[in-house]
Amino acid sequence: MKELKDRVAVVTGASTGIGRSVAVECGRAGMRVVLASQNPERLAAAVDEVRATRASAIGVPTDVSDRAAVEQLAEATLREFGAVHLLVNNAGVYAPGYSWETPLEEWEWVVGVNLWGPLYAIRAFMPHLLAQPEAHIVNVSSTGGLMTTPVQGPYTSSKHALVGLSKGLKADLVIKGANVGVTVVCPGMVATNIISQMQTTGPGGEPRPRAELAPEVREIWNVMSTLTNAGIPADDVGPMVLEAVRENRFWLLPNGEQFFDVFDAELGELKAGL
């Protein structure tokens, strides 16, 4: 989708991190932007930031794991702007722990946001994307969707599934003969607050109690937090995403190659110390 000016973008998980960066970059490109997030205060601040680029923007509080809420997001988009051309499924959450010890409620929460959320959005927005001369879908997965990492069962399972969904979606759209591109983003080390939000946000948007984790699990969590904080700025990713959209590129791995090397080294040191 080479032409972005005056077109309509919808970005979920848009109040912080990569989602906020993409939304702001869409505004800079002259797009009209719909920002979705579960946190109203952070969402309002992100909308103001997009509007500061002189773009038209609205915020729609949305829990993407709720199908009805996602359908309402689509309705709000069409009501405000009359069309949609770019859908960015970015909202994502994380819960550490051994797969068999992680509460089922947290499994359902992580899979609900990371996998069902994009699927609900694709189903809600696809008829309107297909109605355009050209359109694009971006699914934000993770390098955790390409490699196995320990004590992240819900996260890596859902992110692997999102990569598979993206591959299947691209094939379906080719068969359909639709001019709708697909990009799957698998970030490596990017400085976002997905790790720190584990302490403040959980199922239903409620604060989570401090998790009782085994020492080795908490140590891996600390490694992940260190790697995340040392990553490239989230602001760097928005321009990369829009470049991939313009070029109709399927794969985008912001800082992904470095993640594989560094994580393997950090994990090797951790195992040696256990």
Residues recognised as catalytic: 155
Residue with tokens 């109605």: 131
- Alpha helix locations (H) across the chain? 17-28, 40-51, 67-81, 104-111, 117-130, 153-176, 215-229, 237-247, 256-273
Alpha carbon of 211 to those of 97, 102, 204, 215: distances in Å? 9, 10, 17, 11
CA angle 167, 172, 173 (to 5 degrees): 100
61 forms bridges with which residues in the sheet?
Answer: 37
SS3 (DSSP) at 185:
strand
Query: How far apart are alpha carbons 51 and 58 in whole angstroms?
Result: 9
Instruction: Name the residue type at position 83.
Output: A
Assess contact for 31 and 8: CB atoms under 8 A: yes
Q: Would you give the DSSP letter of residue 102?
A: S
